[in-house]
Structure 1
Amino acid sequence: MTLAADSASGRITGLAGKCIDVADRNSANGTQVQLYDCNGTSAQQWTEPGDGTLRALGKCLDVRGGSTADAADVQLWDCNGSPAQQWVITQAKDIVNPAANKCLDVRAYNSANRTPLQLWPCQGAANEKWEVAGGATNTVAGEMPAPVPERESDAPASGFVVSEAQFDQMFPNRNHAYTYDGLRAALSAYPAFANTGSDTVKKQEAAAFLANVSHETGGLAHTVEQNTANYSAYCDASQPYGCPSGQSAYYGRGPIQLSWNYNYKAAGDALGIDLLNNPDLVASDSSVAWKTGLWYWNTQTGPGSTTPHDAIVNSAGFGQTIRSINGALECDGKYPAEVQSRVDSYTGFTRILGVDPGSNLSC
């Protein structure tokens, strides 16, 4: 996205034709960014130097405290390269923070001067729409653009629709164990994944898988289940092979949080890896971890009636992938906030990939 050099030198207008403004033309860190009558001052002149930031008065548009929460305040701060200072302007006229997958929003739909700006889930409302002086470049109509490749690894891997740069954008705070190279290596185990149907379907499937993975792991932050009190619950001793690694060895691990001794056995048998006797491989080996996630995605129906892979390629919708992964606990009105969290991740990831999310998003 590039702001015009003329036409008010990068004025950004929104609700009621008012401008994004730095309060009192104050360049101090923490100064509120707000809505205000357009007046041509330097507090309303925004530039974008090509690194994903929006700048005024020599500093960056920033989410206070690096928060990704709803209603997080927006401020001016020293430019530091953090995810809190990354913004994408779409041709749908949203200004999106990819780390939060949320939009720059005028608080409470209030067009009064000095109304603060905040992060809020993208809803297409007028208080989230912005006009950039001179327009923006490098965008896809209605969607968040993919990053412009700057190095070889930014281009999508052969046979995969997600580039390393897009993966980094989706998971800026991931655990180092979840590598992009590990994901690429795992693709050979299930070549139909994100490689079936049209380019749109391929991108929808990649986004759907990664969105569910993000929900299961807190944005790829966790390699193992966080509730240790549950660890001893995942041994089904009635199985003929038992639990050779111990009663408490089969807790959730990896991107899909593989759990239970029988799932470790089935996934290991399918992948040719002895996970029953080596369950820690799912947390310690990135390729193995991703393969177990893809095993479930491509072969298991869980509490649903279809595999997540088939749900996407057969146009059943993202909601059916939720049902196949955790529908018994979340779907049919049981935990709507959990479902919405998955949907929000999915729609955010489809914006990054520049694809329509399709219909039937909830379960």
Structure 2
Amino acid sequence: MAVGLAVLVPLASTASAATCATAWNSSSVYTGSMTASYNGHNWQAKWWTQGETPGTVDVWADQGTCSGGSNGGSGDSCNYPAWAAGRNYVTGDIVKYTDGKYYVAEHDNPGYDPVISTWYWEPYTCGGGTNPPNNGSFVVSEAQFNRMFPGRNSFYTYSGLTTALSAYPGFAKTGSDTVKKQEAAAFLANVGHETGGLVHIVEQNTANYPHYCDASKSYGCPAGQAAYYGRGPIQLSWNYNYKAAGDALGINLLNNPNLVQTDSAIAWKTGLWYWNTQTGPGTMTPHNAMVNGSGFGETIRSINGSIECNGGNPGQVQSRINSYQNFAAILGVPTGGNLSC
């Protein structure tokens, strides 16, 4: 399992197990054995997690009740360090700026000024529980997301997805309420199919890894010939796709492809990049297919149509359709027509 970029959280005091550890924070990344307090209990992370509330998901081990210390019920403690110029920050870090306000790092950065570098920092409402951006406004609730992917890898966090939405504000926000939910269901059905139900972070066939370097490109494969294998919800692959996605998102993925398997929000953004901007072997983007009424079948064609559509692999097509029908039902909307390709 990939190890996330962690915001270090102090472990509970060994002198007194009943003393509350630092309060859990929805924007922080926790890795196995890290401890945080929430609702009067200390909790220990079993593995990589971000935005998954202790006590409601099976990634936290209850360490028992606690009192005092920095226990917080909402997970939005305001006790964050002061920002320092030139210090390296990672996605999810929260700092207090010289204006007295708080900011959360949206991308790794070497200490850029939060009020100038808005790509790297977003205002953070301390105590309000409103971050990450767009959380709560997505047409799929966290409970519905968990229902869709009961066995998902904890890397694919709901908060990572809702953070990524800011990159493509038209996604699941175009058209009627029904169309918005249909697009969200279609996207999640396709990425779920690509990853075995949001289980796989990287491509499982390692023999393919050296094949994804197109050396004819002027920029080549600076991260290594075998560095551009499938990663993330859309299984982004090939050096030219890493470059194109990175250029669009403002992230140097050509030189740092591993970000797609270590940063949940970046991984989700690559999936949304393909969905909203790429036609693949089809004639339209998956986003346009759903908002313009062309149907779910055209999203399959744009993602893997050259292999699956027109009788290429009807079993795979039906698998995608089944997931879409299931997810649309969870969201309470009809599927619309043109399901197959």
Question: Would you say same fold, with TM above 0.5?
Answer: yes
- Of 198, 203, 224 in structure 2, the residue corresponding to residue 246 of structure 1 is 224
Gaps (5+ residues) in structure 2? Answer: 1-56, 59-128
- Of 274, 278, 283 in structure 2, the residue corresponding to residue 305 of structure 1 is 283
1:176 and 1:351 mapped to 2: Cα distance?
24
Matches within 5 A, 1:220-259: 220-259=198-237
Specify the alignment match of 1:22 in structure 2. Answer: none
- TM-score, length of structure 1 as denominator length: 0.57
List per-residue Cα deviations over 1:18-37 (Å, max 9, x = no partner).
xxxxxxxxxxxxxxxxxxxx
Amino acid at match of 1:285: D
List per-residue Cα deviations over 1:244-274 (Å, max 9, x = no partner).
0000000000000000000000000000000
Specify the alignment match of 1:358 in structure 2. Answer: 336
Matches within 5 A, 1:244-323: 244-323=222-301
1:259 and 1:152 mapped to 2: Cα distance?
34
- CA-CA distance at 1:179 after TM superposition: 0.3
List per-residue Cα deviations over 1:116-163 (Å, max 9, x = no partner).
xxxxxxxxxxxxxxxxxxxxxxxxxxxxxxxxxxx999xx94431000
Question: Is the Cα–Cα contact under 8 Å of residues 304 and 327 in structure 1 kept in the other structure?
Answer: yes
| SS of corresponding position for 2:229 | coil
1:175 and 1:152 mapped to 2: Cα distance?
24
Question: Is the Cα–Cα contact under 8 Å of residues 203 and 350 in structure 1 kept in the other structure?
Answer: yes
Structure 1 stretches of at least 4 aligned residues deviating more than 6 Å after TM superposition? none
Amino acid at match of 2:173: N
Amino acid at match of 1:257: Q
Question: Is the Cα–Cα contact under 8 Å of residues 159 and 195 in structure 1 kept in the other structure?
Answer: no
Matches within 5 A, 1:150-189: 157-189=135-167
Question: Is the Cα–Cα contact under 8 Å of residues 135 and 163 in structure 2 kept in the other structure?
Answer: no
Greater helix proportion: 1
1:173 and 1:158 mapped to 2: Cα distance?
22
- TM-score, length of structure 2 as denominator length: 0.61
| SS of corresponding position for 1:226 | coil
2:326 and 2:221 mapped to 1: Cα distance?
39
* Residue 334 (structure 1) aligned with residue 312 (structure 2): yes
- Of 300, 303, 311 in structure 2, the residue corresponding to residue 325 of structure 1 is 303
Aligned residues: 213
Matches within 5 A, 1:202-221: 202-221=180-199
Question: Is the Cα–Cα contact under 8 Å of residues 236 and 270 in structure 2 kept in the other structure?
Answer: yes
1:335 and 1:283 mapped to 2: Cα distance?
28
List per-residue Cα deviations over 1:46-69 (Å, max 9, x = no partner).
xxxxxxxxxxxxxxxxxxxxxxxx
1:299 and 1:339 mapped to 2: Cα distance?
22
Question: Is the Cα–Cα contact under 8 Å of residues 203 and 230 in structure 2 kept in the other structure?
Answer: yes
2:164 and 2:135 mapped to 1: Cα distance?
12
Specify the alignment match of 2:103 in structure 1. Answer: none
2:144 and 2:302 mapped to 1: Cα distance?
26
1:157 and 1:196 mapped to 2: Cα distance?
17
1:270 and 1:157 mapped to 2: Cα distance?
22
Gaps (5+ residues) in structure 1? Answer: 1-80, 83-150
Specify the alignment match of 2:101 in structure 1. Answer: none
2:224 and 2:286 mapped to 1: Cα distance?
31
1:307 and 1:159 mapped to 2: Cα distance?
23
Specify the alignment match of 1:111 in structure 2. Answer: none
Question: Is the Cα–Cα contact under 8 Å of residues 216 and 255 in structure 1 kept in the other structure?
Answer: yes
2:136 and 2:152 mapped to 1: Cα distance?
23
Amino acid at match of 2:258: D
Aligned residues: CA RMSD: 1.8
1:293 and 1:341 mapped to 2: Cα distance?
19
1:203 and 1:322 mapped to 2: Cα distance?
17
Amino acid at match of 2:223: S
- CA-CA distance at 1:199 after TM superposition: 0.2
Question: Is the Cα–Cα contact under 8 Å of residues 177 and 286 in structure 1 kept in the other structure?
Answer: yes
List per-residue Cα deviations over 1:165-215 (Å, max 9, x = no partner).
000000111111100000000000000000000000000000000000000
